[in-house]
Structure 1
């Protein structure tokens, strides 16, 4: 069974405990969640979970079926990376003196299309938005200079193909 990256989109009511039950489904199958993001969706009072995993398609299909059995879940989908448009964000906290003393830091900022978010006496913060490998490359480039803090967001994604979720959600909302 060939493993690959999948983005699972779950549309649900926003109820306490659902995230715990969904993560339990992955735990039972010993599948690590690589990324998780929860936000409101395009329909009022409906949340969207974006979950990224590396697993065989057969397992992902079964997991999506189990997720859909949760009472609050309206619909769940899964897509490969080629079927989605996605981004992640990251923040890097670096010692301020490096910004002025290390010319290579300025080159990394320019080449990575990152932004300086803030500059303080002791540190500055860079923001980078892009694909996972782009953030990893920037991390690897900055690591020799010393990263004081690093944080990465979960993936946000939309499918390239149209999904019938809007009509499903509108029916749900009109009930």
Structure 2
């Protein structure tokens, strides 16, 4: 089987140590996590993990089954890229002196559909939401102006299904 990008989603209770146990599952199978995000979900008191990996579908299926064995995990599933709507957010801190050629920086920011988040005396912060390749392209265009700091969030994604696995989680919660 050929490796491809997958997004793994898990709805969980919020318990100390769960993130560690989930990452151990990947470590034991020698699978690298490209990004991981955890946040509240649409269900009160339930958290959602979104994990991006590049692996074979067979390996991802096994990982999802192992994740679901964790007592605090209500439901986990995986998706191919075409089955999700996904984004990442990136922040770029560049020196304010780069604004001396402000027209060029402003043109680059507009061209990439980014925005100025803050402008301080010594630096400015630009925000860009998009796919990894888009945030990387803006990074490359800003290199000549100097980048003091750069950070990119992990992937966030929702399934292209109307409810995704959240509906299944709601059914579990309704029974309790």
TM category (shorter chain) comes to: over 0.9
Alignment partners' CA distance in 2, 1:121 and 1:65: 51
Alignment partners' CA distance in 2, 1:121 and 1:83: 44
What residue in structure 1 maps to residue 2 of structure 2?
Answer: 2
- The normalised TM-score by structure 2 is 0.94
Alignment partners' CA distance in 2, 1:70 and 1:6: 20
Runs of 4+ in 1 over 4 A off after TM superposition: none
What residue in structure 1 maps to residue 84 of structure 2?
Answer: 84
What residue in structure 2 maps to residue 50 of structure 1?
Answer: 50
What residue in structure 1 maps to residue 158 of structure 2?
Answer: 158
Change (3 A) 1:166 1:98: same
User: Which sections of structure 2, spanning at least 5 residues, go unmatched?
Assistant: none
Alignment partners' CA distance in 2, 1:118 and 1:102: 15
Q: Does 1:110 align with 2:110?
A: yes
- The normalised TM-score by structure 1 is 0.95
Shift of 1:164: 4.5
**Aligned residues of 1:43 and 1:170 also touching (Cα < 8 A):** no
User: Which sections of structure 1, spanning at least 5 residues, go unmatched?
Assistant: none
Change (3 A) 1:117 1:164: closer
Q: Does 1:59 align with 2:59?
A: yes
Q: Does 1:141 align with 2:156?
A: no
